[in-house]
Amino acid sequence: MGVAIAATASAHVHVEVDGEAIAGQPAQLVFEVPNERDDAATVTIEVQMPQDTDLTDVVAAEVEGWTVSTITRDGDIVDTIRWDASGAGLVGEESVSLPVAVGPLPAVEFLEFPTVQTYDDGEIVRWIEPAPEGEPEPELPVPTLAITAAAPGDTTAPTEPPATDAPAPTEPSPTASPTASTPPDETLVITSAPADEVTTQVTETPTTLETDEDDGAAVWPWVVVIIVIVVVGGGIAIAIARRRTSG
C-alpha cells in the first residue's frame, strides 16, 4: 500500500519503475506526484495509459488516504486510473507515490502517460507536453517511461512443453506368428469350425524321396514284363534244342 510522503516536492510529475523496464516483461510502475502549490492541495490525480498500445493486466494499488478507480475501453483494457483524496489530499510540499502493476511491456522505445492534477481550488494542471530527447524540457512534460529492449529469449512468452519420448516399440513374441513353430515341410491349414471348436489340420508336403519312390513304382511293371519275356524265350530255346538232340 502506497502512502503520501511529506518531502520536498520534485520538479514535475514523473513515472519510475521498480527494477527495470524491459520489453516483454511485466513491470511495477510508480507515479510520483508532488504538490506544487503552497496555497492549495492536490485532491485528484488522473493517469491515462498509452493510447497507441494496450497495456494488459493493469492493476492500481490502494494508497492510504486515497480512493482509486479505473475507466476502461474496449471491454477490459484500462484507459485511465483516478485517485481521489479521501482526506485533505496533498498539501504544502507533500508528494505521493502511486504504484501500478502492468503486464508485459511492449517492444517500443518509450511509453507516455498523460497525467492530470487537480487542486482543491479547481485549478487543473495537465502534464501532457511531449519531451523530445535533445530538446529543452517543456513546462509540463508528460511522464515518460524508457523501455529497454529484451535480450534474446528474455520474455514471458509461453513456451511449448517439451516433447515426450514415444514409447519404444515392443518386439513381437516368438509365438505371435502361427508359422513360427511350423516345420518348413509342413503347411498349416485352419478350417472353419463351430464357435466352441477350432480344428487345426496339418498336411504333409510330399518330399523328394517320396517322388523318387513313385517314379520307381512306375518302372517295375516293365521290368517284370522283360523278365517274363526272357524266361519264356529261354524255355522255348531249350525245348527246341532237346528235340534236335533226340532226333
In this model, does residue 180 exceed pLDDT 90?
A: no
Q: Is residue 156 in a domain?
A: no
Q: Is residue 173 in a domain?
A: no
In this model, does residue 16 exceed pLDDT 90?
A: yes
C-alpha cell of 58? 493493469
Picking from 146, 164, 192, the residue at the C-terminal end of a domain is: 146
- If one compares 42 and 188, the residue with the highest pLDDT of the two is 42
Same domain, 215 and 142: no
Q: Is residue 151 in a domain?
A: no
In this model, does residue 226 exceed pLDDT 70?
A: yes
Q: Is 78 exposed, middle or buried (0-12, 13-18, 19+ CB in 10 A)?
A: buried
Same domain, 104 and 15: yes
Amino acid at 190: I
Backbone angles phi and psi of 246, in degrees to 5: -70, -30
In this model, does residue 217 exceed pLDDT 50?
A: yes
CA distances from 29 to 46, 117, 129 (A): 15, 18, 20
Residue 92: give its domain's CATH number. Answer: 2.60.40.2230
Picking from 146, 171, 188, the residue at the C-terminal end of a domain is: 146
Q: How far is Cα 116 from Cα 195, in angstroms, rounded to an integer?
A: 89
Q: How confident is the model at residue 139, as a pLDDT? A: 93
Same domain, 23 and 109: yes
In this model, does residue 233 exceed pLDDT 80?
A: no
Same domain, 217 and 106: no
How much of the chain, in percent, has pLDDT values that exceed 90? Answer: 51
Same domain, 193 and 142: no
Same domain, 187 and 83: no
Give the lowest-confidence range in 49-53, 59-63, 76-80, 180-184: 180-184
In this model, does residue 177 exceed pLDDT 70?
A: no
Can you tell me whether residue 245 is helix, strand or coil?
A: helix
In this model, does residue 242 exceed pLDDT 50?
A: yes
Report the relative pairing of strands 199-204 and 14-17 from DSSP bridges.
unpaired
Q: How confident is the model at residue 229, as a pLDDT? A: 76
Same domain, 205 and 99: no
In this model, does residue 191 exceed pLDDT 50?
A: no
Same domain, 31 and 112: yes
Q: Is residue 24 in a domain?
A: yes
In this model, does residue 188 exceed pLDDT 50?
A: no
Answering whether pTM is above 0.85, one says no
Picking from 146, 162, 190, the residue at the C-terminal end of a domain is: 146
Q: What is the pLDDT of residues 48-73, one digit of tens each?
A: 999 999 999 999 999 999 999 999 99
Same domain, 129 and 48: yes
- If one compares 30 and 200, the residue with the highest pLDDT of the two is 30
Could you give the number of structural domains in the chain?
2
Closest C-alpha to 3, from 69, 61, 70, 72:
61
Q: What is the pLDDT of residues 94-142, one digit of tens each?
A: 999 999 999 999 999 999 999 999 999 999 999 999 988 888 989 999 9
In this model, does residue 193 exceed pLDDT 50?
A: no
In this model, does residue 168 exceed pLDDT 50?
A: yes
DSSP string, 15-48: EEESS--BBTS-EEEEEEEE---SS--EEEEEEE
Q: How confident is the model at residue 106, as a pLDDT? A: 95
Q: Is residue 169 in a domain?
A: no
Same domain, 142 and 185: no
Q: How confident is the model at residue 55, as a pLDDT? A: 94
Domain that holds residue 236: 179-247
Same domain, 33 and 79: yes
Same domain, 94 and 191: no
Other beta carbons within 10 Å of 140: 15
Q: How confident is the model at residue 186, as a pLDDT? A: 44
Q: Is residue 126 in a domain?
A: yes
Q: How confident is the model at residue 35, as a pLDDT? A: 96
- If one compares 216 and 100, the residue with the highest pLDDT of the two is 100
Q: Give the residue ranges of DSSP H helices in the chain.
A: 208-246
